[in-house]
Amino acid sequence: MTSCRVGLGYDIHRIANGRPLVLGGVRFESPWGLDGHSDADVLAHAIGDALLGTLGLGDLGTHFPPGDPKWKDVSSLDLLARVRTLLEDRGATIVNVDATVVAEQPKIGPMREQMCAALAGALGIEPSRVSVKATTNEMLGAVGRGEGIAAWAVALVEVGS
């Protein structure tokens, strides 16, 4: 007897000059990146929160406190791999992840496959089980003015009893 659990994640980071831009574990060519303690991978963070949410395990900040020097500039793919272990330790298997990046720039499309592969590698699942979509905010609000990048994610896990 198995059951399915769903989780939701959301994250947003400010744009900062001179920082690397990493989305879904992939480095983008860009003069600016995202501000944050780790690599500020907003997409990976939304996915991590969605995965933790499936079992009600809190959020990334609980498990990897931003003030802890241990996580400074750490790859968010490493954090996702740790989240995967937390889930596996509780008997959960990741079924799939679906995410949307909200950004005026950069263009996500050309990097989509690479991002899915990187995320799937960290999560130990097939790339076909990771979906990354992108949209703009139609120039509305802070994201629309290019002040930041946001991401939404949902995740489904199967738990054996």
Could you give the 3-state DSSP secondary structure of residue 132?
strand
Cα diameter, the chain: 51
Q: Considering the complex, what minimum distance in angstroms separates the CB of residue 160 from Zn ion?
A: 31
Q: Residue 55 has which token pair?
A: 């079992």
Count how many residues are written for the chain. Answer: 161
Q: Considering the complex, what minimum distance in angstroms separates the CB of residue 4 from Zn ion?
A: 26
User: Near Zn ion by CB under 5 A, which window of 22-30, 41-49, 92-100, 109-117?
Assistant: 41-49
For residues 57-76, which are near Zn ion according to CB under 5 A? none
Q: Kindly report the CA angle at 7 between 51 and 85, in degrees rounded to 5? A: 20
Q: Considering the complex, what minimum distance in angstroms separates the CB of residue 80 from Zn ion?
A: 12
Residue nearest to Zn ion (CB): 45
For residue 49, state whether it binds Zn ion (rule: CB under 5 A): no
Count the residues of the shown chain that bind Zn ion, applying the rule CB under 5 A: 2
The residue within the footprint of Zn ion, chosen from 34, 43, 45, 157 (CB under 5 A), is 45
> Which H/E stretch holds residue 134?
strand 130-135
Could you give the 3-state DSSP secondary structure of residue 24?
coil
Q: Considering the complex, what minimum distance in angstroms separates the CB of residue 61 from Zn ion?
A: 8
How many whole angstroms separate alpha carbon 32 and alpha carbon 148? Answer: 11
The residue within the footprint of Zn ion, chosen from 7, 11, 71, 108 (CB under 5 A), is 11
User: Near Zn ion by CB under 5 A, which window of 40-48, 82-90, 102-110, 113-121?
Assistant: 40-48
- Which CB atom, from 11 or from 33, has the smaller least distance to Zn ion? 11
- Residues ≥6 apart with Cβ < 8 Å to 118: 24, 25, 26, 77
Residues that bind Zn ion (CB under 5 A): 11, 45
